[in-house]
């Protein structure tokens, strides 16, 4: 760190302009990232359901329709006039650029399954030919055909249509969130930093980190699927970390100037002290975010890439560009003051008073705090994890309206059957299997080369219709069901289907419900590994930073307690449907999206470690200077408490802007991360940490001699 501090101080202009130029050049590619981002990404590409999709495409030349439509005639669908109307609709759809194939109730043989229960509406399906522009083509189809068509009503849904609506909503929501959060953040920053000039410094750290991260997202889009939601994390964390790190560095710089150090000396000391804290904080947050790379879903892996990039660039900006700017500006950072008096931190004040109050009565404070956390944790006792579908969009969105029509007026989910591939089965074995399958709860009927089977009864009169269900070594079997596929019911249905006895032949189960099930199981399977990675890397880095055995363990346990409380609060809000008056309207589906909860948990855990390091660094500094534990905690909390609170408020505000989103998972991310940050900066840092450190006393700083020697060698102190 000494070499970095010395170089930044002696070559400030070169460092600052060079860093800005490097980020500017990267945006040539970075801004191209937006075109390559995708919706979805919740599926496990290595699962059995993914294999089924591959077999359907390769052996059966069958792909799930990208767009699913409904035509509501208002009169019997089998009338000749309605058949002619649909023929015209199909012909018009086929003319849309990017449409590969259009099929309908009529072209597929008028099966009852594709007609509504009241007989007045039918399905049609559209396959698109270029995956890169699916969402764009789906949007064009929805714009042209949703609504009235020659007297009938047309509704457009399907995966591509949902993706299109999501992309549009997210773009609009980001603009709305920024139009609310940015002005409020700017005003808050001016008061937090104490001067107009200093309040602009986070742009050097956060703004450049955001722009630079786009380059790494662009690289990701060139080699793998990358989620459009990753941009939300980049903007939220880039702004938040820019503010956190800038506050820490500027406060320390002001402190050193107050002690009488020259500008260059003050900057160098700031890099060696606060800069070291930033490096350890950034390393911890970045490695915690990398835990999402353990999951197979590219929705989560995209956040690992985006999060790692924005954190690393925030750290580089904080220890290179920001000190260079402070060196060049000198005391000009205090110009246009909005607060009276000295802006440097003091050793006495409200935070020191809170710490001393807590440390005089640590046991009662611990009990009350534990009860408060326990109450929040208990709210999550009935949590059920699910996966997103169209209902993450507002209720009046045209795709949601279309899917609601399908749910209400069609008994079977025709667009999302259970798809089963059977290899090596004899005719009798296939018959026995389809009979058993048709008796599974929520299965409406089974379709195979044998015909249609319902409740164990085969109607082989439909066999010619399904002659194409045999190709190469595989027999295709479809089970039409009447439940929401991406839900706990879909999970149970998949388990029941996979539990059907079969021996001597291979069975692969796919379809929407199985895709959802495999995704959930992918999260369940990899969650212990991700959690172990987080715990081990956090314990290691905190030990290297503090030289203590006990403090890292305490930090990890408190973070998990805070995270459990956040999960409880989110369950109460989004499963229970509470506080809509505060957070806005959303659809209660009875589940919480598992992938989004993993994201919130990982991000909240990482940011909590940010504040832990801010606090512990100042406490340790006082203890190393010879003060006792009680006084070290009081002074350390006083010097860092304002920074932690201010940073938490601004960071919470930047994420709270997402609460205005009409997309439920973005709203949930905003609520969850903002709540976790505020809970951590208040209850955890102000009450639980001082109380526990008072009880542990000098044990806080204990470590075996050989470990302490290793820590001193690797701690970036020199």
Average pLDDT over residues 297-318: 93
Above 80 in pLDDT, residue 22? yes
What is the C-alpha separation between 292 and 598, in angstroms, rounded? 8
pLDDT tens by residue, 213-246: 999 999 999 988 888 878 878 987 888 888 889 9
Q: Taking the alpha carbons of 473, 475, 476, 479 in that order, is the dihedral positive or negative?
A: negative
Please give the mean pLDDT across all residues of the chain: 88
What is the C-alpha separation between 393 and 134, in angstroms, rounded? 19
- Structure confidence at residue 343 (pLDDT): 62
pLDDT band at 412 (very low <50, low <70, confident <90, very high): low
Above 60 in pLDDT, residue 717? no
Above 60 in pLDDT, residue 38? yes
656 token code pair: 């709270």
Q: In the beta sheet, which residues pair with residue 508?
A: 421
Above 80 in pLDDT, residue 167? no
pLDDT band at 18 (very low <50, low <70, confident <90, very high): very high
Indicate the pTM of the whole model.
0.82
Q: Starting at the earlier edge strand, list the strands of the sheet with 121-128.
A: 99-104, 121-128, 67-72, 152-157, 147-149
pLDDT tens by residue, 658-672: 888 888 988 998 899
313 token code pair: 């660039």
Is residue 526 classed exposed, middle or buried when 0-12, 13-18 and 19+ CB atoms within 10 A define those classes?
buried
Residue 384 sits at φ, ψ, to 5 deg, of -125, 130
What is the C-alpha separation between 10 and 254, in angstroms, rounded? 19
- Structure confidence at residue 344 (pLDDT): 62
pLDDT tens by residue, 423-443: 999 999 999 999 999 999 999
% of the chain at pLDDT higher than 90? 47
pLDDT tens by residue, 501-537: 988 899 999 998 999 899 989 999 999 999 999 999 9
Above 70 in pLDDT, residue 346? no
Q: Return the minimum-mean-pLDDT range out of 57-61, 552-556, 678-682.
A: 57-61
Q: Please give the angle made by the CA atoms of 420, 424 and 430, to the nearest 5 degrees.
A: 60
What is the C-alpha separation between 146 and 129, in angstroms, rounded? 21
pLDDT tens by residue, 576-591: 999 999 998 898 888 8
- Structure confidence at residue 43 (pLDDT): 85
- Structure confidence at residue 87 (pLDDT): 94
pLDDT tens by residue, 354-381: 888 999 999 999 999 999 999 999 999 8
Above 70 in pLDDT, residue 718? no
- Structure confidence at residue 36 (pLDDT): 81
Secondary element (H or E) of residue 268: helix 263-289
Above 70 in pLDDT, residue 182? yes
CB 421 within 8 A of CB 476: yes
**Domains along the sequence of the chain with CATH:** 1-45+194-342 (1.20.1640.10), 66-163 (3.30.70.330), 345-389+521-718 (1.20.1640.10), 408-517 (3.30.70)
Q: Which residues does 323 contact at the CB level (< 8 Å), separation at least 6?
A: 5, 8, 9, 12, 249, 267, 270, 271, 275
Q: Which residues does 343 contact at the CB level (< 8 Å), separation at least 6?
A: 194, 195, 254, 334, 337
What is the C-alpha separation between 146 and 131, in angstroms, rounded? 22
Express the helix, strand and coil content of the chain in percent, nearest 5 each.
70, 10, 20
- Structure confidence at residue 81 (pLDDT): 93
Above 90 in pLDDT, residue 35? no
What is the C-alpha separation between 92 and 154, in angstroms, rounded? 13
More confident residue, 156 or 236: 156
């Amino acid at each position: 760190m000494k070499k970095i501090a010395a170089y930044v101080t002696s070559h400030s202009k070169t460092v600052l302009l060079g860093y800005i130029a490097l980020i500017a050049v990267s945006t040539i590619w970075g801004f191209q990232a937006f075109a390559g981002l995708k919706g979805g990404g919740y599926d496990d590409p290595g699962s059995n359901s993914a294999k089924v999709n591959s077999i359907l495409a390769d052996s059966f030349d069958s792909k799930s329709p990208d767009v699913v439509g409904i035509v509501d005639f208002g009169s019997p669908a089998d009338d000749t006039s309605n058949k002619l109307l649909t023929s015209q609709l199909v012909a018009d759809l086929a003319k849309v650029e990017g449409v590969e194939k259009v099929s309908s109730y009529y072209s597929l043989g008028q099966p009852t399954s594709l007609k509504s229960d009241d007989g007045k509406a039918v399905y049609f399906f559209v396959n698109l030919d270029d995956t890169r522009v699916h969402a764009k083509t789906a949007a064009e189809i929805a714009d042209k055909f949703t609504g009235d068509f020659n007297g009938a009503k047309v509704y457009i849904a399907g995966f591509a249509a949902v993706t299109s609506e999501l992309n549009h909503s997210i773009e609009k929501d980001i603009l709305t969130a920024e139009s609310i959060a940015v002005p409020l953040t700017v005003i808050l920053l001016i008061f937090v930093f104490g001067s107009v000039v200093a309040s602009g410094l986070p742009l050097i750290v956060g703004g450049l980190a955001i722009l630079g991260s786009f380059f790494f997202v662009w690289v990701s889009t060139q080699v793998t699927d990358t989620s459009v939601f990753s941009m939300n994390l980049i903007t939220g964390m880039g702004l938040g970390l820019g503010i956190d790190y800038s506050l820490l560095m500027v406060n320390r710089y002001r402190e050193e100037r107050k002690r009488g150090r020259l500008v260059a000396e003050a900057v160098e000391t700031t890099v060696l002290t606060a800069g070291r804290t930033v490096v350890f904080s950034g390393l911890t947050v970045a490695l915690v975010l990398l835990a999402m790379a353990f999951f197979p879903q590219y929705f989560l892996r995209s956040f690992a890439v985006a999060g790692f990039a924005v954190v690393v660039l925030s750290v580089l900006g904080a220890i290179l560009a920001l000190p260079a700017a402070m060196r060049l500006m000198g005391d000009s950072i205090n110009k246009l003051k909005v607060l009276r008096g000295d802006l440097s931190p003091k050793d006495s004040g409200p935070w020191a008073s809170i710490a001393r109050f807590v440390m005089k009565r640590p046991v009662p404070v611990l009990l009350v705090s534990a009860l408060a956390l326990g109450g929040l944790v208990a709210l999550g006792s009935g949590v059920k994890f699910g996966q997103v579908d169209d209902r993450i969009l507002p209720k009046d969105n045209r795709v949601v309206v279309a899917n609601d029509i399908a749910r209400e007026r069609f008994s079977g989910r025709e667009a999302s059957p259970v798809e089963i591939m059977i290899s090596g089965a004899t005719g009798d074995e296939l018959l026995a299997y389809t009979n058993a399958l048709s008796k599974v709860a929520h299965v409406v009927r089974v379709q195979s080369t044998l015909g249609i089977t319902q409740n164990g009864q085969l109607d082989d009169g439909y066999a010619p219709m399904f002659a194409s269900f045999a190709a190469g070594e595989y027999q295709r079997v479809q089970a039409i069901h009447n439940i929401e596929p991406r839900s706990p019911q879909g999970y149970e249905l998949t388990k029941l289907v996979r539990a059907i006895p079969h021996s001597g032949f291979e069975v692969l189960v796919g379809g929407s419900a199985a895709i959802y099930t495999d995704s959930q199981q992918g999260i369940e399977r990899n969650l212990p590994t991700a959690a172990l990675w987080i715990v081990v890397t956090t314990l290691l880095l905190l030990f290297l930073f503090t030289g203590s055995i006990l403090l890292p363990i305490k930090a990890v346990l408190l973070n998990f307690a805070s995270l459990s409380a956040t999960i409880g609060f989110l369950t109460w809000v989004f499963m229970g449907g509470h506080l809509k008056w505060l957070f806005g309207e959303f659809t209660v589906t009875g589940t919480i999206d598992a992938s989004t909860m993993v994201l919130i948990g990982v991000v909240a855990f990482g940011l909590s470690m940010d504040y832990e390091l801010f606090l512990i660094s100042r406490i340790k500094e006082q203890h190393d200077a010879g003060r006792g534990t009680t006084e070290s905690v009081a002074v350390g909390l006083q010097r860092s408490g304002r920074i932690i609170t201010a940073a938490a408020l601004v960071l919470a505000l930047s994420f709270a802007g997402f609460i205005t989103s009409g997309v439920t998972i973005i709203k949930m991310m905003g609520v969850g991360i903002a709540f976790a940050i505020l809970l951590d900066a208040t209850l955890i840092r102000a009450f639980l940490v001082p109380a526990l450190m008072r009880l542990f006393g000098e044990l806080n700083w204990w470590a075996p001699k050989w470990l302490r020697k290793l820590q001193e060698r690797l701690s970036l102190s020199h």
